[in-house]
Amino acid sequence: MGIKENIKTIYINNFGLKEFESVLIVTDEKLDRIGGYFYAAAKELGNETAIIKMPAIYKSGEEPPRMVAESMKSADVVLCVTNASLTHTVARKNASMAGARIGTLPGITEDMLSTGAVLADPDEIVQLTDHFTRILNEGNQIAVEKDGHRLTLSIEGRKGISSTGIFHNKGEAGNIPSGESYIAPIETSANGTLVIDGSIAGLGKVDTPILLTLKDGLLVHATGEMGKKLLELLGEGNGRKIAEFGIGANRSARITGVILEDEKVYNTIHVAFGSNKSFGGATEAGVHIDCICLAPDVYVDDKKLMFD
């Protein structure tokens, strides 16, 4: 199918969109062309539809303009087709609390609306994300090992989240395409080193593996030129705190350089730094940056996580 037909399928399958429901498209100067596809598809389905465009100057996790935040609370369904992610913002959280069903598509490309993760079997996505989330909910301690490096962190008392991309109930929100299980670790618990060889949000694919060093939950060092850029994106404060541990659960996803799809790739994990208050953590940092590790060994309470 073409892009517009795939978008209509997203409205119908992912949101269960009803003809009386209102749709808001939030886009920016970089992705307004694709935002326009979502606007046109909703109009063709017969829904009351509006689109709002903001400057493409925002970082992932940074709050959007107040006008955008207020508009998000007034719609039944919101699609955030923006270069930076609005997923872990107070604006998204408040709109969810107001009852809006929200799909965030940071950095989405036309290619990603044609193939890859968007074409995954939704039933399999639900099955895999629920499986990994159950393991996270039953665990207390995580260890990630790769190439002789080891990172440990605590998830004790924290609740895992299944990001299925299915939003049929008021207040539900997450990425489209999706397929990941994630959790907010205890912010002071991460210690050790982790190899990042997939991609980094906002920076793209990793050519030369980067080694991250964490101490008491803080990112204290990152190797290479891309590591330097990562530290600059995160800033000197709360942006360097461990925010998320996630497990990819979408067998159709590919490493594209766009974190929206990359963090869903099966047999990968990702860690993020910065804000996590919107999903059970304690940090508000105005930034949230994910980093992908390919095919590591993962242990939850010393039991190895199996990818078949």
Residue type at 185?
P
What is the reported pLDDT for 2?
86
CATH class label, 3-114: alpha beta
3 state SS of 230: helix
Angle, vertex CA 247, rays to CA 124 and CA 138, nearest 5: 90
Instruction: From 264, 16, 10, 1, select the one nearest 117 (Cα to Cα).
Output: 264
Write the pLDDT tens digit of every residue in 192-228.
999 999 999 999 999 999 999 999 999 999 999 999 9
Locate CATH 3.40.50.2300 in the chain: 3-114
Residue 149: exposure state from Cβ atoms within 10 A (0-12, 13-18, ≥19): middle
**How many C-alpha atoms does 16 have within 13 Å on its Cβ side?**
7
Backbone angles phi, psi at 5, to 5 degrees: -70, -35
Token pair for 17: 């969109």
Query: What pLDDT does residue 1 have?
Result: 61
- Which residues lie closer than 8 Å to 153 by C-beta, 6 or more apart? 141, 142, 185, 186, 189, 190, 191, 217, 242, 245
pLDDT one digit per residue (tens) for the chain, 308 residues:
689 999 999 999 999 999 999 999 999 999 999 999 999 999 999 999 999 999 999 999 999 999 999 999 999 999 999 999 999 999 999 999 999 999 999 999 999 999 999 989 989 999 999 999 999 999 999 999 999 999 999 999 999 999 999 999 999 999 999 999 999 999 999 999 999 999 999 999 999 999 999 999 999 999 999 999 999 999 999 999 999 999 999 999 999 999 999 999 999 999 999 999 999 999 999 999 999 999 999 999 999 999 97
Confidence at residue 235, expressed as pLDDT on a 0 to 100 scale = 96
| 8, two tokens | 């209509």
The residue written with tokens 């891309």 in the block is: 226
Q: What is the dihedral of CA 34, 37, 39, 42, to 10 degrees?
A: -140
Burial profile 25-62: b = 16 or more Cβ within 10 angstroms, e = fewer: bbbbebbbebbebbbbbbeebebebebbbbeeebbbbb
Report the distance separating Cα 53 and Cα 306, nearest Å. Answer: 43
pTM over 0.85: yes
Asked if 293 and 269 count as a contact pair (C-beta separation under 8 A), the reply is yes
Taking the C-alpha atoms of residue 144 and residue 10, their distance in angstroms, rounded to an integer, is: 34
Query: How many CB atoms neighbour CB 193 within 10 A?
Result: 17
